[in-house]
Structure 1
Amino acid sequence: MARLVFVTVPAGKRDAVLDVLDDEGISYTLTDETSNREYTCAVHFPLPTNAVEPILDRLRETGINDDAITVTVETQTVVSRNYDQIKDRFTEDEDSPEQIAREELQSAADDLVPASLPIYAAMTIVSAIIATAGLLLDSAAVVVGSMVIAPLIGPAMATSVGTVFRDRDLFRDGVKLQIIGATLTIVSAALFAILIRTGNLVPPGLDILSISQIRERFRPDVLSLVVALGSGAAGVISLASGVSSALVGVMIAVALVPPAATVGIAIAWGNTALAVGSGVLLLVNLLSINLAALLVLWYMGYRPEKWFRIEQTRKTFVKRVGVLLISILILSAFLGTVTFSSYQTATSEQSIQNDIRSILDEPVYSEFVLLEVQFEYSENLLAQRPSKVTILIGAPRGEIPPELGDRLNTRIDEIAGRNVAVQVRYLTVQEPG
């Protein structure tokens, strides 16, 4: 994608500016300035996206400062032999990656920040209500639809861009809108869920943890970090490369809207464990998105324009990365515990099933067949332990050995390390003929 650059040239700088453009082999058009201001002319020239910042840096060295007017416009097609040569030169230059100039990035991030707080709030509330309905309906399609309209990518990107360019206003706006967005989503979801529950629009006595869309956010594991970190990195890359960030915005909403809506549902149902679990997931995702975006921007080489601000920005960058990283590590202790607990649960289930099979493989039980093993768990936030095991066994007609159930019960208690309710059901199997 090409850019058309418009620059006003201050008095006395015309020859220096044109020398730079000629030296770079850039085709340009020159217009005399007749507004009786301090500018003598305006120059227009096309550039490849990744050439904008290096060329503007050279022009600034001639004396083009912030008082001059510089406009960069995206353009679809440029027909020029010189342009093709410049494009080839910057494409081959490894020091000129395919990314937009710092001014354009800052402007793009600023454009992503909602100009109207009421509209931002309204879109966030609508997104939260739709997400809440989708979660209670156990409909992934509805939940995804809620993410499409969530205006959350702008504040997340603004926070990181504001940090690397030392733009305090942009940074504050980003942080403020992220807090407002998360709070509005939780409150809206809670109020809507309370309305749904008190209005008997869901079955009385509904166990919300029986809904898979909600249950998967009850005990989040370490893999949840991958979604958030990937979303933050993808958001910045799409922004810095000048491509559409709409789809990436959906990914960021994936990490934020459903967990926040789940917190609201948990509040409405008075489920403290669910509120804590999904709340931790929301915080981890929010912090991880900001951390990934910040690190990727810094890695891509974006810095303030003025050299004397770079050291100050570096200190601010290190401080904010440190705060984000420490916060994520603390919260990740919860995710790590859940991940380890899930591993133990899977291992325990496998051991129980293997032991049941080994008992039934004994010659005395050769006519018995294991059909199914079902596990029920207590609603524990960190450690998931089996509270009941139901075993379905295919058995021949005749008397069932009474000791079989006792042996299975004893063995399951030994594996679980605690007393577990064991129910053995027999299904009579009749051989054909």
Structure 2
Amino acid sequence: MGTIESAPRGFSGVGLENPVIVQMRICVPAELTTLVADLCQQQAGTAEVALHTGASILPKGDVFVVHVARESVEELMEKLRALKIESLGSVALTAPDLVLSDRADRAEETAPGEGADTVIWDEVSRQTGEESRLSWTFLSFLVLATLLAAIGIVTDSTIAIVGAMAVGPEFGPLAALAVAVVRGNWSLGGRAALALGVGFPIAMLSTALITWLALPADLFPRDVLDRAPAAEFIYHPGPFSLIVAVLAGAAGMLSVISGRSAALIGVFISVTTVPAAGFVAVALVLGEFSKAAGSALQLLVNLGGIVAAAVAVLYFYRLVTKRLPDGVALRLRGQAIRARR
């Protein structure tokens, strides 16, 4: 067989390293079309701008489809927010799986920074908001994870305990709390606090009830907690408990920002939140109140450490992210008002 020595005519091969391009669909009233077109074309990192005049029926207006490097999305979003586009129309973001375009490659080169290091704040708020709602799915996963942790504790099974860590859905609300603190989004913070404040007690009460019902069946001895060395780390909080929680919180928020779900699974497995909740339930039923208190402290240390680290990561990104100057935002608002008159 021969070897391929050159790319087909008209294909440069540059796109083989797929650029990190975001597709923006922007719906605007007709009176703002010229202003939005200028903003999109002048934005560093813009690869393509397509305009569909009169394409939007509800609301009536024009539709832009813009390909822009991820590094430039937040700046362009701030400019669009200054025009009140979210009230007058809409902005939708999607990430194409593959973009073959020399223009897209050049756009990414001209955009400041790196796509993987870019925070699109509305995207982070939406993602954490979706995962922080008190829903039947959230409660089901938390209850199942806590029950799995309890089984791992009474059977001295490290595998079951680690499995419970992976199943637990608690990082979503914890990340949402961090986003709420940094962005001042107290409605998001309230939803996250409600999910945690209701979810963990329900999961622990369910686990305690199942444990109490299992005692007459002699599925495990009453002194099982004294025979489970694999679970000792759960009710013995120490300096490393906080250190691990802080590292996990930082890694978890970085995985949310960068969209690396595989890293987030590692975060779930590294923190002792769900196992601590399961241990509290089992220990209270068995009358091991000192161990229950130690496990409850472990739970609080892990929850607090994760949120504190996530907040620190977000504040760091907020400091290093280039913000739209207030003067530019005011000028754009003025132009939008004049255009709509």
Note whether the superposition's TM-score is higher than 0.5: yes
Which structure has the higher relative contact order (CA within 8 Å, separation 6+)? 2
Q: Does the CA-based 8 Å contact 1:52-1:100 persist in structure 2?
A: no
Partner residue, 1:289: 306
Partner residue, 1:259: 276
Partner residue, 2:205: 187
Whole-Å Cα distance in 2 between the matches of residues 176 and 305 of structure 1? 34
Task: Indicate whether 1:87 and 2:108 are aligned.
Answer: yes
Q: Does the CA-based 8 Å contact 2:52-2:63 persist in structure 1?
A: yes
The residue type paired with residue 216 of structure 1 is F
Q: 1:77 aligns with which of 84, 92, 98?
A: 98
Give SS of 2:27's match: strand
TM-score relative to the length of structure 2 = 0.80
Q: Does the CA-based 8 Å contact 1:8-1:69 persist in structure 2?
A: yes
Q: 1:56 aligns with which of 70, 77, 84?
A: 77
Give SS of 2:47's match: coil
Whole-Å Cα distance in 1 between the matches of residues 143 and 86 of structure 2? 43
Q: Does the CA-based 8 Å contact 1:138-1:212 persist in structure 2?
A: yes
Deviation for aligned residue 1:87: 0.9
Deviations 1:159-195 (A, max 9, x none): 1112222222211010111122221232223222223
The residue type paired with residue 175 of structure 1 is A
Evaluate the alpha carbon distance shift between residue 249 and residue 215 of structure 1 in structure 2; reply closer, same or farther with a 3 A threshold: closer
Whole-Å Cα distance in 1 between the matches of residues 303 and 97 of structure 2? 36
Q: 1:232 aligns with which of 249, 253, 264?
A: 249
Partner residue, 1:13: 32
Whole-Å Cα distance in 1 between the matches of residues 224 and 292 of structure 2? 14
Deviations 1:283-329 (A, max 9, x none): 1111111111112111111899997xxxxxxxxxxxxxxxxxxxxxx
The within-5 A match list for 1:27-176 is 27-35=48-56, 39-61=60-82, 64-90=85-111, 93-94=112-113, 98-114=117-133, 117-176=135-194
Deviations 1:93-125 (A, max 9, x none): 3497622411111111122224x6222222211
The residue type paired with residue 205 of structure 2 is V
Partner residue, 2:6: none
Whole-Å Cα distance in 1 between the matches of residues 154 and 109 of structure 2? 54
Whole-Å Cα distance in 1 between the matches of residues 82 and 141 of structure 2? 45
Deviation for aligned residue 1:65: 4.9
Whole-Å Cα distance in 1 between the matches of residues 75 and 296 of structure 2? 44
Q: Does the CA-based 8 Å contact 1:160-1:293 persist in structure 2?
A: yes
Total equivalences in the alignment: 302
Q: Does the CA-based 8 Å contact 2:119-2:317 persist in structure 1?
A: no
The residue type paired with residue 41 of structure 2 is D
Partner residue, 2:234: 217
Identity over aligned residues, as a percent?
23
Give the root-mean-square deviation of aligned CA atoms. Answer: 2.6
Whole-Å Cα distance in 2 between the matches of residues 273 and 184 of structure 1? 22
Deviation for aligned residue 1:220: 1.9
The residue type paired with residue 261 of structure 1 is G
Deviation for aligned residue 1:129: 1.1
Deviation for aligned residue 1:34: 4.5
The within-5 A match list for 1:318-329 is none
Whole-Å Cα distance in 2 between the matches of residues 101 and 176 of structure 1? 25
Give SS of 1:12's match: helix
Give SS of 1:70's match: strand
Q: Which has the higher helix share?
A: 2
Partner residue, 2:12: none
Q: Does the CA-based 8 Å contact 1:230-1:292 persist in structure 2?
A: yes
Whole-Å Cα distance in 2 between the matches of residues 119 and 95 of structure 1? 36
Unaligned runs of 5+ in 1: 308-433
Whole-Å Cα distance in 1 between the matches of residues 251 and 232 of structure 2? 27
Larger Rg: 1
Q: Does the CA-based 8 Å contact 2:49-2:67 persist in structure 1?
A: yes
The residue type paired with residue 154 of structure 2 is L
Q: Does the CA-based 8 Å contact 2:25-2:65 persist in structure 1?
A: yes
Q: Does the CA-based 8 Å contact 2:153-2:225 persist in structure 1?
A: no
User: Runs in 1 of length 4+ with deviation above 6 angstroms?
Assistant: 302-307
Whole-Å Cα distance in 2 between the matches of residues 259 and 65 of structure 1? 43
Partner residue, 1:412: none
Task: Indicate whether 1:279 and 2:296 are aligned.
Answer: yes
Give SS of 2:92's match: strand
Give SS of 1:71's match: strand
Whole-Å Cα distance in 1 between the matches of residues 89 and 27 of structure 2? 6
TM-score relative to the length of structure 1 = 0.64
Deviation for aligned residue 1:51: 1.9
The residue type paired with residue 211 of structure 1 is A
Whole-Å Cα distance in 1 between the matches of residues 230 and 324 of structure 2? 46
Whole-Å Cα distance in 2 between the matches of residues 16 and 305 of structure 1? 17
